[in-house]
A and B are shown apart, each in its own frame.
Chain A
Amino acid sequence: AQSVTQLDSQVPVFEEAPVELRCNYSSSVSVYLFWYVQYPNQGLQLLLKYLSGSTLVKGINGFEAEFNKSQTSFHLRKPSVHISDTAEYFCAVRPWMDSSYKLIFGSGTRLLVRP
């Protein structure tokens, strides 16, 4: 079985500062990795994904994430955040060979950007 851990429930940061949101996963098989963002009162938007190839993936809104297989991590980073980045961020995994295509989500991290 797979599991996803987002250790930080909330990350406060000042505007224009860098940020890293941590995601670790547990799986006995290879997985695809995803980050989703949920702005207040909205659904989830796919931010970026790691499917194969380069371990550094770039997504929308200036976010990037690095897949580290040895540490089973997929941390999300942004060099300079904006007030508009305030949202809930979810990390998710899906086993390669799972034909059900089900996602396993972490508990989420609330990014709070202060002026």
Chain B
Amino acid sequence: SAVISQKPSRDICQRGTSLTIQCQVDSQVTMMFWYRQQPGQSLTLIATANQGSEATYESGFVIDKFPISRPNLTFSTLTVSNMSPEDSSIYLCSVALGSYNEQFFGPGTRLTVL
């Protein structure tokens, strides 16, 4: 497995503002993923972030709303732009590791938008 950290762990933001979430891994990984978990719901994949290439977004998610950076093999950021209360969720990053590329998750960032 890997040690994955996220910053901030939680935040309360005003609508119309943006928040950047950081994900740091203690080893080099090729594939990183960003998920959203809305209150009481399961996880929905936002995008896959591979180092050296543009992020690949899932249906319903766009780069203007959720820009992602992946500057190296241990770090990624997700920005939630122009936030509204509907963006209130837990945002989790994960990495693919091992022979079968199992996913391991960070602790999540709990975002509340007022």
**How many residues does chain A have at the interface if contact means C-beta atoms less than 8 Å apart?**
20
Say whether B107 contacts A43, CB under 8 Å. Answer: yes
Say whether A100 contacts B108, CB under 8 Å. Answer: no
**How many residues does chain B have at the interface if contact means C-beta atoms less than 8 Å apart?**
24
Write out, one digit per residue, whether chain A residues 99-111 have a CB within 8 A of any chain B CB (1) or not (0): 0111101111000
Say whether A105 contacts B42, CB under 8 Å. Answer: yes
B104 located at the interface, meaning its Cβ lies under 8 Å from any Cβ of chain A in the complex = yes
Distance to closest chain B CB from A101 (angstroms):
5
Given A43-B105, A43-B106, A49-B102, are A100 and B48 neighbors across the interface (CB < 8 Å)? yes
Q: B-side binding surface: helix, strand, loop or mixed? A: strand
Distance to closest chain B CB from A95 (angstroms):
12
Say whether A108 contacts B42, CB under 8 Å. Answer: yes
Say whether B103 contacts A101, CB under 8 Å. Answer: yes
B45 located at the interface, meaning its Cβ lies under 8 Å from any Cβ of chain A in the complex = yes
Beyond A43-B4, A103-B45, 4 additional pairs, beta carbon < 8 A: A36-B105, A43-B92, A100-B56, A105-B42
